[in-house]
Amino acid sequence: MLKNIFGKSKKEKKSLKEQQNLSNNDLIPSHIAIIMDGNGRWAKKRALPRVAGHHEGMKTVRKIARCADDLGIKVLTLYAFSTENWKRPKSEVDYLMGLPEKFLKSFMPEIMERNIRVQMMGEKEALPTSTQTVLNEAMERTKNNSGLILNFAMNYGSRAEIVRAMKDIMVEVSKGNLNVDSIDESTITNYLMTSQLPEPDLLIRTSGEVRLSNFMLWQLAYTEFWFTDTLWPDFNEETLMEAIHAFQKRNRRYGGLKGEEIN
């Protein structure tokens, strides 16, 4: 069981990895992406309004960010709000737009103490001004932090991201700054919102759904997927460790063969 892991020194954090059989850094995902699903169902099971599930899910974000930081994970990307989520009732959308302020206001002292850097990917311009302001302030305040990158996907859709990248590439070609024959996979990668991040090693989706929902379609080409029936508000450190241990057992060949398989 995973216990008493927060607020430890660097030496104690190393012991945590060893206790969880994660002493080999090569087996620890550098970048974990999570589709946080099940907040509404969690609330419905308890005869609570959907926003109660989102509030509880916010607590889980804080818990998992702490755990990821303690384990030495480099990037944690959380699918917080998709381009399709605007279709939800206005009252729910308004509540979701206010969550970044609630989360960052309460967690910011610890974010700074832990040297965490806040980032966001998505169409920020379409978010309410107040939400943009909160996110911009958090990113500005933490821009020099060198620890865990806590990356929120807000108003994010992968297809829209790829279309935007294609348009930007076409503009560069029309200006003569880019030759069509030189365009390759790395070119496209460099025009995506994640250009400065490593591609995810592990994708986790909660609540029993087994689909990507327009999330990081390009970046997840060789990512290991792990699905759980656990609803996001019930997701905890032990569930994260279960996913990481499953990741450790995967044979990542990237389309090739390992030495022992060739012989």
Annotated binding site: 37-42, 50, 54, 82-84, 86, 88, 205, 211-213, 224
Instruction: Give the span between the Cα atoms of 32 and 170, in whole angstroms.
Output: 31
From residue 115, give the alpha-carbon distance in Å to each of 16, 70, 77, 93, 225: 19, 12, 16, 30, 28
DSSP string, 220-244: TTTPEEEE-S--GGG--HHHHHHHH
Three-state DSSP class for residue 251: coil
Q: Tell me which amino acid residue 171 is.
A: V
Residue ranges of the annotated binding site for Mg(2+) are 37, 224
Q: What angle do CA 177, 181, 184 make, to 5 degrees?
A: 90
145 in catalytic set: no
Q: Pick the closest to residue 79 from 37, 125, 19 (CA basis).
A: 37
Choosing from 24, 26, 37, 155, the catalytic residue is 37
- What is the edge-to-edge ordering of all strands in the sheet holding 224-227? 117-121, 149-156, 75-82, 31-35, 202-205, 224-227
Instruction: Give the span between the Cα atoms of 128 and 172, in whole angstroms.
Output: 30
Choosing from 4, 21, 70, 85, the catalytic residue is 85
Query: In terms of DSSP H, where are the helices of the chain?
Result: 10-19, 39-45, 50-71, 90-113, 129-142, 158-174, 185-190, 237-248, 259-262
Q: Tell me which amino acid residue 88 is.
A: R
85 in catalytic set: yes
Q: Pick the closest to residue 237 from 74, 66, 55 (CA basis).
A: 66
Residue ranges of the annotated binding site for substrate are 38-42, 50, 54, 82-84, 86, 88, 205, 211-213
- Residues involved in catalysis: 37, 85
